[in-house]
Amino acid sequence: MGVKRRQGSGDQMDLFDEALKASLRHGVTGEGGTGAGTCGERQAPAAWDRNRTLAQHLMERIASSANLNQAYKRVKANDGAPGVDGMTVAALRPWVAENRERLIASLLDGSYRPKPVRGVEIPKPGGGMRQLGIPTVVDRLVQQAIAQVLEPILDPLFSVSSFGFRPGRGSHDALRQAQKHVASGYGIVVDLDLEKFFDRVNHDILMARLARRVGDKRLLRIVRRFLQAGMMADGVCIERHEGTPQGGPLSPLLANLLLDDLDKELESRGHRFCRYADDCNIYVRSQAAGERVMASVTSFLEKRLRLKVNQEKSAVAPVEERQFLGYRLRADGSLFIASKSITRVKERLRRITRRNRGIAFARMIAEVNAFTTGWVTYFRHIQSPSTLRDLDGWIRRKLRCARLKQCKRVFAIARFLQSKGVPAWRAWIAAKSGKGWWRLSHSPGVQEAMDTEWFGSIGLVSLAHRYAALNSAGNRRIR
pLDDT tens digits, 360-408: 999 999 999 999 999 999 999 998 889 999 999 999 999 999 999 999 8
What residue type is assigned to position 444 of the chain? P
Task: Quote the pLDDT of residue 384.
Answer: 80
Task: Quote the pLDDT of residue 3.
Answer: 39
pLDDT over 70 percentage in the chain: 83
DSSP-derived secondary structure letter, 417: H
Task: Quote the pLDDT of residue 81.
Answer: 86
Task: Quote the pLDDT of residue 235.
Answer: 61
Task: Quote the pLDDT of residue 84.
Answer: 87
Query: What is the DSSP track for 115-166?
Result: PPEEEEEEE-TTSSEEEEEE--HHHHHHHHHHHHHHHHHHGGGS-TTB-TT-
Helix (H, G, I), strand (E, B), or coil: what is residue 327?
Answer: strand
Per-residue pLDDT tens over the stretch 96-143: 999 989 999 999 999 999 998 887 777 766 666 677 778 999 999 999
Does pLDDT of 16 surpass 70? no
Percentage helix, strand, coil for the chain under 3-state DSSP, each rounded to 5:
50, 10, 35
Pairwise CA distance, residues 141 & 340, whole Å? 36
- Please indicate whether residue 231 or residue 414 has the higher confidence score (pLDDT): 414
Does pLDDT of 41 surpass 50? no
Give me the residues paired with residue 335 across strands: 329
Per-residue pLDDT tens over the stretch 424-477: 998 999 888 888 899 999 999 999 999 999 999 999 999 999 999 998 855 555
Long-range (24+ apart) CB contacts under 8 A made by 435-443 are 437/355, 437/401, 437/404, 437/405, 438/397, 438/401, 440/401, 440/404, 441/397, 441/398, 441/400, 441/401, 441/404, 442/397
Does pLDDT of 163 surpass 90? yes
Q: Per-residue pLDDT averaged across 161-170, rounded?
A: 93
- Please indicate whether residue 151 or residue 241 has the higher confidence score (pLDDT): 151
pLDDT over 90 percentage in the chain: 65
Does pLDDT of 244 surpass 60? yes
Q: How confident is the model at residue 196 (pLDDT cuts 50, 70, 90)?
A: confident
Task: Quote the pLDDT of residue 12.
Answer: 45
- Cβ(364)–Cβ(215) below 8 Å: no
Mean of pLDDT over the chain: 85
List, in order, residues 6 or more apart from 227 with CB less than 8 Å away: 201, 203, 206, 207, 240, 243, 244, 254
Task: Quote the pLDDT of residue 290.
Answer: 96
DSSP-derived secondary structure letter, 214: B
Q: Sign of the CA dihedral 290, 291, 292, 298?
A: positive
pTM over 0.75: yes
Does pLDDT of 170 surpass 50? yes
